[in-house]
Copies of this chain bind each other. A is one copy, B any other.
């Protein structure tokens, strides 16, 4: 960290700052220009709250040189992290395909969709049992029942499965789940992240609606720090002023994150667009810019899809999409 002092600072205050920084095991390197004094801090500054430094009346600016995330930092280990999701390796250089219905409704529905996904070439099944809904008056998911349906599908179809957790208290219901999803609304639910760091199942961490990539990595850091290295990051759209009434899929997050971290990065173009008519285009774009995986909502009710989300494509569209993805994978190196 570099601290730029204001002109003519009071010596006793600077000394107090220096002593406090030294008490945190930081070395201080002064640099005195004609009008500007810099303090360079050497050592681990990740525990230092930069906003506190900035608020000091004699400080003009404070700039972090070292990124505040450590275990997720690209420099932390030599090789990219590959996460094993029930046998499917995410992050191994080949874009994986996760697909399934918005909500788990019945055995029949889920198995029909899962079988079709498997035949088309999908790798992992997704399906929501616990559903975080903006309004308490809309459908909240099939909850415990949905969790059991997911388990049955897994046994029957032999496909790995990912579903969302909303509360630590539900964790034991996830015993047969292959990957636990943390939704955008809970990206900064730190007690939940800590609990997921104290178990070993892979965690799919979705980016918040207005979260920076650094904040996403710091949330991953809460999980990694507790001992669970199996974290996958997911871009699922940000809220912007320029696209009112819809979400904006930020695909640039994929190549940017890949310069920042060794963790795999996947994209959810269904929630990330909210519009089934553009899901195929944006899924292909996600593959083209290097995503380690894509997660797509599909439904099996083409004639009257009232209970499926507006962003779900049907099984036939999905089959065509998988074909295109496989062609793209031959051109694009992840």
Task: Write out the residue numbers on chain B whose beta carbons fall within 8 Å of the beta carbon of A54.
Answer: 310
Task: Write out the residue numbers on chain B whose beta carbons fall within 8 Å of the beta carbon of A65.
Answer: 4, 36, 60-61
Distance from A182 Cβ to chain B, minimum over Cβ atoms (Å) = 11
Distance from A123 Cβ to chain B, minimum over Cβ atoms (Å) = 20
Residue A11 at the B interface, CB < 8 A? Answer: no
Residue A2 at the B interface, CB < 8 A? Answer: yes
Interface size of A as a range: 35 or more
Residue A181 at the B interface, CB < 8 A? Answer: no
B332 & A284 in contact (Cβ 8 Å cutoff): yes
Q: Which one of B17, B249, B256 contacts A278 once the chains associate, using CB atoms below 8 Å?
A: B256
Complex CA gap A81/B132 in Å reads 28
Q: How many copies does the complex hold?
A: 4
The closest CB in chain B to the CB of A247 belongs to: B252
Distance from A93 Cβ to chain B, minimum over Cβ atoms (Å) = 15
Residue A324 at the B interface, CB < 8 A? Answer: yes
A17 & B306 in contact (Cβ 8 Å cutoff): yes
B252 & A248 in contact (Cβ 8 Å cutoff): yes
Complex CA gap A51/B69 in Å reads 24
Residue A244 at the B interface, CB < 8 A? Answer: yes
A244 & B242 in contact (Cβ 8 Å cutoff): no
Distance from A320 Cβ to chain B, minimum over Cβ atoms (Å) = 12
Residue A309 at the B interface, CB < 8 A? Answer: yes
A132 & B42 in contact (Cβ 8 Å cutoff): no
Question: Which A-B residue pairs are the 7 nearest by beta carbons?
Answer: A55-B310, A210-B210, A288-B288, A185-B188, A167-B191, A255-B278, A285-B289
Interface of A with B (CB < 8 Å)? 2, 4, 13, 16-17, 20, 29, 31, 33-36, 38, 40, 42, 46-49, 51-52, 54-56, 60-61, 63, 65, 68-70, 132-139, 166-169, 185-186, 188-192, 207, 209-213, 215, 218, 221-222, 225, 238-245, 248-252, 254-256, 259, 273-278, 281-282, 284-290, 303-311, 324, 327-328, 331-332
